[in-house]
Chain A
Amino acid sequence: MNSIWTIARKELSDSLRNRWLMAISLVFATLALGIAWFGAAASGQVGYASTPATIASLASLGIFLIPLIALLLAYDAIVGEEEGGTLLLLLTYPLSRSQLLLGKFLGHGLTLAFATVIGFGVAGVAIAVLVENVAIASLAAAMLRFIGSTVLLGWGFIALAYVISVRVSEKPIAAGLALAIWFFFVLIFDLMLLGTLVASEGQFSAELLPWLLMLNPTDIYRLLNIVAFGDSAQLSGVLSLGADLPIGAAGLWIGLVLWFAIPLAGALLLFRNRRI
């Protein structure tokens, strides 16, 4: 446990030193406040629209930004150490490969969690203080749900980045593959799903189709933040499939947890079998 914490601690202090933590927090806070204030601009007025609309917009932007940040944070976790020659050295220390990877995960995971809590937390507090007549209880619940699911989504992509990082031997390849993962889950997947939907002309099993959304953590994340308001009108595009999903919010949470637990377990397994 001690060595896991030693590795995590170095990652945390690195992200403070290179100002990643500060930069991500700042981006999140700016994003949240911007959307809160100008979210209603489309309907011709400036000001706070409503909590569900704000969260829905935040979640839609979040799926672009959070996977990208998580992948950038974590893609060189192992391959970077290898290129610097420190991986070989670290493994000659009383430190198992699993401990090294879990330490990295703890460090990167906490960095992302702190940035999310600080960035969106500040924005939430600002909205509660500055906007008149906002229902504090529902805002707080929505914000907590949003922050929690954002952290889980980020962890999922950190774990996916590790799967790459323990497999490849060069940093540029790891970076390229990380971008490919982002491209696939954020842009391609929904298009493919939509294509399947149209091409099958309703022949596709109507029971099975909504479950396909569970194959993409960013879809689970959006569903989770929108469905919670019980307002299916906000569900657009392929997400409308989610209204037919026979699992509740708890199922979606479990889905997000699995989406970081399974890739992390996979990365650990791959790392353990890798030849040094």
Chain B
Amino acid sequence: MSCFHLDNVSYRYDKSPVLTGIDLTLEPGEILGLFGHNGAGKTTCIKLILGLMTPNQGSVSVLGGHAGDPQVTQHIGYLPENVMFYPQLTGREILNHFARLKGASLQQVPQLLEQVGLGDAMDARTKTYSKGMRQRLGLAQALLGKPKLLMLDEPTVGLDPVATADLYRLLRELCEGGTGIVLCSHVLPGVEPYIDRAAILTDGALKAAGDLAALRRQANMPVTLSLDPANSISALEHVIDSASSSSGLIIKSDSGRLRVDVQPRDKMALLHAVMASGEVADISIHQPSLEDIYVHFIGSGGLAHRGGSQ
């Protein structure tokens, strides 16, 4: 049973398309990063899975049921962006309220608050909370009742680096317990080490989806090799020149090292040649990062036409 499955889903808002033909699946124990520019349709995607809206076309199945069914939503945890809780209530009272609504046991409330680092502040009114503390409260709320599907919209906003690391450790644990997790974030380098798969949306269409290796293959972006010459730069340059049968290699010398951008399919051949020549003292390989891949798929069209509202 997948956590959710979107099958050819389209959604229109006042006749203008927000999402077109989205196919996306999340399996238990997976962390999916959902990325896209402002107005790309991330929030709409999440709302469809949560059952807040129904698609104009296609089908959404969630945890083996219908999106929005009470038996289904009971097992979903959701952290919205920028939630302000009831300012006159304490953290504990708010979590008790939401636990009752979810039919979750109230005993886990202090435990959850402790887990997100609000142990000392749970009996203070939330109007005294900082942004980071409200975010932690939101997380504790999303974790109520051990969800099987967890959807987090910008979970690390306002969290300090230590808390962010704690959060990702927590997510990894949940994942190992079989929870499927969706992460929406603009902090790409931050989430890169933690996601199993990424889905990139632009203008309501799914541009790419898959694990990082697959996305790299799909993007076919050059890999950068950084080479330290064993003897002289010119000798090393000569080796590279003669090794590369294909064109498109860029060689830049800077401070005694060589940077070579090589197409993924030529990488191994070049490495073999360089190693065999004995002209290299050290090699480091830079794969394109998630951010590079994202920019590749989104296109660097500037901010102008990326305005759109969420």
Contacts and interface: CB of A to CB of B under 8 A. Distances in A.
Interface of A: 2-3, 6-7, 10, 14, 17-18, 84-86, 88-96, 275-276
B297 interface: no
B128 to A, nearest CB: 16
Interface of B: 47, 50-53, 70-71, 73-74, 76, 78, 80, 82-86, 88, 97-98, 100-103, 141
A77 to B, nearest CB: 13
A118 to B, nearest CB: 23
B172 to A, nearest CB: 24
Contacts of B103: 2, 94
Nearest to A95: B101
Contacts of B51: 92
Main secondary structure of the interface of A (DSSP, over half): helix
B53 A89 contact: no
Given A6-B97, A276-B52, A276-B53, A92 B88 contact: no
A88 B52 contact: yes
B74 A94 contact: yes
Nearest to B141: A89
Nearest to B13: A275
18 contacts: A3-B100, A6-B97, A6-B100, A7-B101, A18-B88, A84-B83, A84-B85, A85-B83, A89-B78, A89-B83, A90-B101, A91-B52, A92-B51, A92-B73, A93-B73, A93-B102, A94-B101, A275-B53
A93 B80 contact: no
A3 B84 contact: no
A86 B101 CA distance: 13
B290 to A, nearest CB: 28
Given A84-B86, A86-B84, A6 B76 contact: no
A2 B76 CA distance: 19
A92 B97 contact: no
A118 B47 CA distance: 45
Contact of A6 (B83, B86, B101): B101
Given A10-B97, A94-B73, A94-B102, A85 B80 contact: yes
Contact of B88 (A3, A14, A89): A14
A205 B238 CA distance: 108
B167 to A, nearest CB: 19
B279 to A, nearest CB: 60
Contact of B80 (A14, A88, A95, A275): A88
Contacts of B73: 92-94
Identify the interface centre among A3, A17, A18, A88: most chain B CB within 10 Å of its CB.
A88
A269 B84 CA distance: 27
A111 B63 CA distance: 39
Nearest to A7: B101
Nearest to A276: B52
A89 B84 CA distance: 10
B88 A17 contact: yes
Contacts of A88: 52, 80
Contact of B86 (A7, A86, A96, A275): A86
A89 B94 CA distance: 13
B84 A84 contact: yes
A123 to B, nearest CB: 30
A7 B97 CA distance: 8
For the complex of A and B, list the 5 residue pairs with the smallest distance between their C-beta atoms, beginning with the closest: A94-B70, A85-B83, A6-B100, A84-B84, A94-B74
Contacts of A90: 101
Contact of A86 (B47, B52, B74, B83): B83
A18 B141 CA distance: 24
A93 B74 CA distance: 6
Given A85-B80, A92-B73, A275-B53, 16 more contacts: A2-B100, A2-B103, A14-B86, A85-B83, A86-B83, A86-B84, A86-B85, A88-B52, A88-B80, A92-B51, A92-B76, A93-B98, A94-B102, A276-B47, A276-B52, A276-B53
A85 B85 CA distance: 8
A91 B52 CA distance: 7
A275 B44 CA distance: 12
Contacts of B102: 93-94
Nearest to B74: A94
Contacts of A276: 47, 52-53
A94 B100 CA distance: 10
Nearest to B82: A85
B140 to A, nearest CB: 13
B52 A92 contact: yes
Nearest to A103: B101
Contacts of B98: 93
Contacts of A7: 101
A275 to B, nearest CB: 7
B278 to A, nearest CB: 62
A231 to B, nearest CB: 47
Nearest to A94: B70
Contacts of A17: 88
B236 to A, nearest CB: 58
